[in-house]
């Protein structure tokens, strides 16, 4: 039942290679140093070295994006060696690329729904890489599948229309086996989408719309990033650092005014899960999740945020005095046997990693200014259609995916990643609407949480079983869902356009790199 290669997928692979040869030809002509692939065979060089697409793609925004090594003064003493994305607007509104000061994170890319984006990615790190647009609904060839990696010095051309709802998306590398270390080294950035519906709500904007990327890291005595020790057991757990960074900075305090804020949180950590809560006991008001605004705000005492997931909070400080302080913290939770196993073994050298599920502070809030900006939380945030479970094409027999472990290796339905490999049960028909079920029932002694992510799609959560937690925000559109040990989840996903090969995987990046990732194939009927 394992390792089945499809004929049509082999054909696709062959196609890719032919494209590559053609592109190499363009490079030889000197039209495009390095060569963009695979779209270059559809493009020709314009007057000033511009890419003119033969497909007629006229971008509203044209951006160059480079991944390259650098260093950053993060602490007193030696600068920290990092890998970083740098972006520049070549054509269009210059404000669509926003740098995060003093951060290793890539700039925030901003787009409006319906806009056409061209991104000329150049890989200048000393190993193959490719960029994935996490959460964006783009064609397979634009999705940053690991089969499209480019070596150092080469480029990849992305051209796509932003079809997503307004929301907080992000980009990061996706080479097979090296996503964990590349993201860890600093390669990640936010991709914010706006739309007219969102703008009609009058949500906090400008300085009151704050992106907060949460990550954990470990540093040696020389301020250099520490990663895995090469210990299989540590890899089975995933990387856990000893300090929590927000937007690439340790010990962050956010100064706020006495008004409402929109806080966009991304868990950009490799494997750490947060159980978010306000230190002062206020409940969290959630207005958005992975795929944008919820239908209406929801309130939770705490919220789990697993790697890859986003939530947006409405936080109103208008009734707090100047000088008031609180913090966003992560409450303790039982992360499964492996969360503790990590702690036992210790991770590396002298550093003591914080176990998953430990009580930690993420960032502090301090009310520093009194302002008179009154905002009312809209009780209706967006339109969301009801889930029509019985309308799914496989309602009688939902697809089943079992998360398990075998031979010190996390698996999905007993399999690990194969670059072009697709099993029968991973083929879906273009135009179909399906129910998929994931079960985190395996692992035996080594049970662990797994955040499951689908590429190219936003889906809806129908329900869960075996749930021991209240901290899920399953109400909105999702692309990543957390399954605690023993939990099962039922999602609905529509494959209405974009045929081809897409990934689904665990977003614990060490699990992903070890092969807890598979392809699904959307086949044209
Ligand atoms: Cu954040 Cu395969 O993705
Ligand atoms: Cu993704
Ligand atoms: Cu996992």
Ligand 1 contact via 478 beta carbon (within 6 Å):
no
CA gap 167, 195 in Å, rounded: 9
Q: Is the CB of 145 under 6 A from ligand 1?
A: no
* 174 in contact with ligand 1, CB cutoff 6 A: yes
Summarize the confidence of residues 427-444 as an average pLDDT.
Answer: 92
Classify strands 500-506 and 480-483 as parallel, antiparallel or unpaired: unpaired
Is the CB–ligand 1 distance for residue 176 below 6 Å? Answer: no
69 and 104 Cβ atoms separated by less than 8 Å: no
Ligand 2: distance of its center to the CA of 170 in Å?
8
Ligand 1 atom nearest the C-alpha of 174 is: 2
Q: Is the bond into 215 cis (omega within 30 degrees of 0)?
A: no
What is the structure's pLDDT at 342? Answer: 44
DSSP 8-state secondary structure symbol assigned to residue 104: S
- Among 145-159, 200-214, 225-239, whose mean pLDDT is lowest? 225-239
Q: Which residue, among 169, 480, 473, 168, has the nearest Cα to 304 in the 3D structure?
A: 473
- Ligand 1 centroid–CA 199 distance in Å is 28
Q: Are strands 209-217 and 260-267 parallel, antiparallel or unpaired?
A: parallel
Ramachandran class of 206: left when φ > 0, alpha when ψ lies in -120 to 50, beta otherwise: left
- Ligand 2 centre to CA of 132 (Å) is 6
In angstroms, what is the span from residue 335 Cα to ligand 3's centroid?
A: 12
> Which ligand 1 atom minimizes the distance to the CA of 455?
2
Q: CA-to-CA distance for 491 and 520, rounded, in angstroms?
A: 15
**187, burial (CB in 10 Å: exposed 0-12, middle 13-18, buried 19+):** buried
Q: Whose CA is nearest to atom 1 of ligand 1?
A: 134
Looking at residue 209, what is its pLDDT? 98
If you measure from the C-alpha of residue 27 to the centroid of ligand 3, how many angstroms do you get, rounded to a whole number?
Answer: 40
Cβ–ligand 1 contact at 310 (below 6 Å): no
Ligand nearest to the CA of 505: 1
pLDDT over threshold 90, residue 90: yes
Ligand nearest to the CA of 308: 1
Give the mean pLDDT of 447-470: 93
Instruction: Please tell me the number of Cα atoms within 13 Å of 53 on its side-chain side.
Output: 19
pTM above 0.95, yes or no: no
Q: Which atom of ligand 1 lies at the shortest distance from residue 144's CA? A: 2
What does the buried/exposed string (b/e) look like for 142-160 if buried means 16 or more CB atoms within 10 Å of the residue's CB?
Answer: bbbbbebbbeeebbbbbbb
Q: Could you tell me how many residues make up the chain?
A: 525
Burial of 277 (0-12, 13-18, 19+ CB in 10 A): buried
Atom of ligand 1 nearest to the CA of 512: 2
- pLDDT digit string (tens) for 326-384? 999 999 998 765 544 444 334 444 357 898 999 999 999 999 999 999 999 999 999 99
SS3 for 376?
A: coil
Q: Distance from the CA of 19 to the center of ligand 3, in angstroms?
A: 34
Q: Name the burial class of residue 30, with classes exposed (0-12), middle (13-18) and buried (19+) by CB atoms within 10 angstroms of its CB.
A: exposed
| Rg of the chain on CA atoms, in Å | 22
Q: Reduce the DSSP state of residue 450 to 3 states and report it.
A: strand
Spell out the domains of the chain, with CATH numbers in brackets: 36-195 (2.60.40.420), 206-369 (2.60.40.420), 389-523 (2.60.40.420)
CA distance 382 to 378: 10
The average pLDDT across 119-123 equals: 98
Q: Is 511 in the pocket of ligand 1 (CB under 6 A)?
A: no
Question: Average pLDDT for residues 56-74, to the nearest whole number?
Answer: 96
Mean predicted confidence (pLDDT) in 152-174:
98
For residue 163, the tally of other CB atoms under 10 A from its CB is 13
Is 137 in contact with 117 (CB distance < 8 Å)?
no
Residue 308 and residue 378: Cα distance in Å, rounded? 27
Cα separation, 166 vs 294, in Å, equals 11
Which atom of ligand 1 sits closest to the CA of residue 172?
1
Atom of ligand 1 nearest to the CA of 517: 2
Predicted confidence at residue 17, as pLDDT, reads: 29
Nearest to 83 by CA among 66, 70, 97: 70
Start-to-end CA span in the chain (Å): 24
Residue 457 near ligand 1, beta carbon < 6 Å? no
Residue 116 pLDDT:
98
Flag whether pLDDT at 51 surpasses 50. yes
pLDDT of residue 439: 97
Whether residue 308 has its Cβ less than 6 Å from ligand 1? yes
At residue 390, the 3 state secondary structure works out as: helix
Ligand with the closest atom to the CA of 504: 1
Nearest CA to ligand 1 atom 3: 134
Burial class, 342, CB count within 10 angstroms (exposed 0-12 / middle 13-18 / buried 19+):
buried
H/E stretch holding 430 reads none
pLDDT digits (tens, 9 = 90+) for 295-308: 999 999 999 999 99
Report the separation in Å between the CA atom of 403 and the middle of ligand 3, taken as the mean of its atom positions: 8
Residue 420 has pLDDT above 80, yes or no: yes
Q: From CA 519, how far away is CA 481, in angstroms rounded? A: 17
Q: What atom in ligand 1 is closest to the CA of residue 503?
A: 2
Question: Which tokens is 511 given?
Answer: 């699990």
Q: Kindly indicate the confidence band of residue 28, based on its pLDDT and cuts at 50, 70 and 90.
A: very low
Mean pLDDT in residue range 425-452 = 92
Q: Name which of 44-53, 141-150, 355-364, 398-407 the model is least confident about.
A: 44-53
What is the C-alpha to C-alpha distance for residues 62 and 51, in angstroms, rounded to an integer? 10
The answer to whether 176 touches 144, Cβ cutoff 8 Å, is no
- Does residue 453 line the site of ligand 1, with CB under 6 A? yes
Q: ∠ CA 441-443-449 to the nearest 5 degrees?
A: 70
């Amino acid at each position: 039942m394992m390792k089945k290669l499809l004929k049509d997928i082999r054909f696709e692979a062959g196609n890719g290679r032919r494209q590559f040869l053609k592109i190499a030809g363009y490079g030889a002509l000197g039209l495009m140093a390095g060569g963009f692939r695979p779209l270059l065979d559809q493009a020709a060089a314009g007057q000033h070295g511009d890419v003119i697409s033969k497909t007629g793609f006229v971008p509203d925004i044209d951006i160059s994006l480079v991944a390259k090594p650098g260093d950053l003064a993060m602490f007193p003493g030696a600068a920290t060696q990092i890998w970083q994305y740098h972006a520049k607007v070549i054509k269009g509104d210059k404000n669509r690329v926003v740098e995060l000061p003093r951060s290793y994170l890539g700039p925030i890319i901003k787009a409006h729904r319906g806009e056409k984006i061209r991104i000329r990615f150049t890989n200048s790190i000393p190993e193959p890489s490719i960029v994935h647009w996490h959460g964006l609904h783009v064609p397979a060839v634009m999705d940053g599948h690991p089969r499209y990696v480019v070596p150092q010095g080469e480029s990849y051309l992305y051209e796509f229309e932003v079809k997503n709802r307004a929301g907080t998306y992000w980009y990061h590398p996706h080479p097979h086996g090296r996503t964990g270390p590349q993201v860890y080294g600093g390669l990640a950035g936010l991709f914010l989408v706006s739309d007219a519906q969102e703008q009609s709500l009058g949500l906090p904007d400008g300085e009151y719309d704050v992106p907060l990327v949460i990550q954990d890291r470990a540093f040696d005595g020389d301020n250099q990033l520490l990663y895995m020790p090469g210990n299989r057991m540590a890899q089975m757990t995933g990387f856990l650092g000893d300090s929590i960074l927000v937007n690439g900075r340790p010990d962050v305090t956010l100064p706020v005014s006495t008004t409402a804020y929109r806080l966009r949180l991304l868990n950009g950590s490799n494997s750490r899960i947060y159980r978010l809560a306000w230190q002062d006991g206020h409940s969290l008001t959630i207005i958005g999740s992975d795929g944008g605004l919820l239908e209406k705000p929801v309130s939770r005492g705490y919220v789990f945020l697993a790697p890859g997931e986003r939530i947006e909070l409405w936080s109103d400080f208008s009734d707090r005095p100047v000088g008031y302080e609180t913090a966003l913290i992560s409450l303790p939770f039982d992360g499964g046997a492996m969360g503790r196993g990590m702690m036992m073994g210790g991770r590396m050298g002298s550093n003591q990693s914080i176990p998953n599920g430990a009580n930690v502070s993420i960032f502090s809030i301090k009310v520093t200014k009194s302002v008179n900006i009154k905002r009312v939380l809209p009780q209706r945030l967006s339109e969301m259609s009801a889930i029509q479970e019985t309308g799914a094409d496989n309602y009688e027999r939902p697809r089943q995916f079992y998360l398990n472990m075998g031979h010190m290796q996390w698996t999905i339905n007993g399999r690990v990643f194969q670059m072009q490999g697709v099993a029968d049960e991973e083929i879906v028909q273009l135009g179909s609407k399906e129910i998929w079920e994931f079960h985190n029932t395996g692992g035996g002694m080594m049970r662990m949480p797994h955040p499951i992510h689908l590429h190219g799609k936003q889906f809806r959560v129908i329900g869960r079983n075996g749930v021991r937690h209240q901290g899920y925000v399953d109400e909105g559109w999702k692309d990543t869902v957390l399954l605690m040990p023993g939990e099962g989840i039922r999602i609905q996903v529509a494959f209405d356009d974009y045929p081809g090969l897409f990934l689904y995987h665990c977003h614990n990046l060490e699990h992903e790199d070890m092969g807890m990732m598979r392809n699904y194939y959307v086949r044209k009927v």
